[in-house]
Amino acid sequence: ILGSAYLFNAEPDHLNDIYNVEAKELEPWKDSPGEVSTYDWRDYLGDARYQRAYVDFFEDELVLNGYDWRKVLVTYLFQGKEPLIHNLVSGLGHPLIHLGYAYELSSRDLAMEALAMAATSYNHLHKYLDDPSYTKPSPNNPSKSPLELLCRLQKDNRFEGVLRDPGPDNLQPLFRDHEAVMLEYWNAWQISEPTQDFQASQRAAAALLVASRKAGGAPYDFFLVHVLTTSHAVRILLPLLPAKYHIPLVRQWWLLTLSVYIAQLRPEILLRSVGDYDLKGRGWEWVDKQAVGGKHALDAHYVKGLRAMKTAARTWGDEDRFYLKAAVRFGDEFDGWGGFGLSSREGAQPTDDQYA
């Protein structure tokens, strides 16, 4: 949130307020069971206990490489038969989001943290990119529109009654029992013109967050906003990564999108709720004010969501004002997060890490 607020031109006092609020939510450092070295750094992938060891290791590598953080990223993101770049959407996409901000803010600290996050949240999702057998023609009619596929998925009765409540507890049974159906949709997105196809995905991400909430209904979905913010990170990274990783990165995002959408019980996407939204004279200046001075300006995901939509509009143009309407509606109606399912009703404090 500090990066987003800074890029919204927030005043120093507001940045300090954000820091003080966010610092209260952070867990104290815990010593790792051991150190990580260049010889065994892959041995502890996916083990959150080694978080501090990985941060220390990558920071040491940064020093050894003359503080060239981009060189360190190249070394550890792209090497090997199963490169770390193929598993950035684990942990609800936070390694991907963090890496995007590292490049956007040119921050070596964020870059090393992103590597550590990717290492400790590493999980089974990498196999869908590393193993070519998972990429095959889909029995589902292919489409160039991810939004069309999401709408088709919403009506797919093969998922009816399969999941009872939204939330991260759905992911394990989803991948265990319904992988084949989900991969039909994963392989059905036809990416032939990466720039135009990714443009369509950003519009789908904004629609999924904003147009899936019925007016006067439940709070905005905490997990669906990550579809939008990870899409923003992909937009930042695509021009900066080697071309061979462009489509795999976008397909990672699509896998995250599908799994989160199904886990959140496939809410209907009502595009007219955005297209017909009355702006009442409000524009991007109003959005900016909400992000740095509104009553939710200290909510990290609220601010990041607004900025993702504003940046998408600036990148692709917004002739029909879809992004503006989505951002204004979200900015005006937002009053906390929902989508947690049983964990919320049982009094637990849901966090991003539930999707790790």
The pLDDT value given to residue 27: 83
Q: Is the pLDDT of residue 350 over 60?
A: no
**What pLDDT band is residue 119 in, cutting at 50, 70 and 90?**
very high
pLDDT surpasses 70 at 345: no
Phi and psi at 211, nearest 5°, equal: -80, -5
Residue 281, φ and ψ in degrees, nearest 5: 80, 0
Cα gap 309→202, rounded to integer Å: 9
Confidence of residue 326 (pLDDT cuts 50, 70, 90): very high
In whole angstroms, give the CA distance from residue 264 to residue 169: 10
- pLDDT score at 214: 76
Could you read off the pLDDT of 176-192 as tens digits, one per residue? 999 999 999 999 999 98
Q: Amino acid identity of 94?
A: H
Phi, psi of 189 (to 5 degrees): -75, 115
Residue 288, helix vs strand vs coil: helix
What integer is the mean pLDDT of 158-162? 91
- The answer to whether 139 and 99 have CB atoms below 8 angstroms apart is no
Per-residue confidence (pLDDT) for residue 38, from 0 to 100: 95
Mean pLDDT of the chain, nearest integer = 92
Per-residue pLDDT tens digits for 247-261: 999 999 999 999 999
Q: Please check the confidence at residue 351 and state whether its pLDDT lies above 90.
A: no
Whole-number Å distance between alpha carbons of 270 and 151: 10
Of the candidates 94, 89, 162, the residue with the CA atom closest to the CA atom of residue 123: 89
| Residue 355, pLDDT above cutoff 70 | no
Strand locations in the chain (E): 220-221, 337-338
Closest CA to 54 of 35, 68, 40: 35
Helix, strand, coil share of the chain (percent; to 5): 65, 0, 35
Residue 347 has pLDDT above 70, yes or no: no
Q: In whole angstroms, how far apart are CA 347 and each of 70, 220, 332, 334, 350?
A: 42, 19, 27, 21, 9
Section 133-145 average pLDDT: 93
Q: What is the 3-state secondary structure (H, E, C) of 212-242?
A: CCCCCCCCEECCCHHHHHHHHHHHHHCCCCC
pLDDT tens figures, 64-85: 999 999 999 999 999 889 999 9
Percent of the chain at pLDDT > 90 equals: 83
With both helix axes pointing from N to C terminus, report the angle between 300-316 and 322-333 in degrees, rounded to the nearest 10.
170
Tell me the two tokens of residue 306.
């607004």
More confident residue, 347 or 39: 39
In this structure, which amino acid lies at residue 24? K
Beta bridge partners of 338: 221
CA distance 7 to 350: 28
Q: Is the pLDDT of residue 354 over 70?
A: no
Instruction: Report the 10 Å Cβ neighbour count for 350.
Output: 18
Give 211-223 pLDDT, tens digit per residue.
999 767 789 999 9
Q: For the segment 17-61, what is each residue's pLDDT rounded down to a tens digit?
A: 999 998 888 888 889 999 999 999 999 999 999 999 999 999 999
Q: Classify burial at 161, counting beta carbons within 10 Å of its beta carbon; exposed 0-12, middle 13-18, buried 19 or more.
A: exposed
For residue 343, the model assigns a pLDDT of 52
Say yes or no to pLDDT of 344 above 60. no
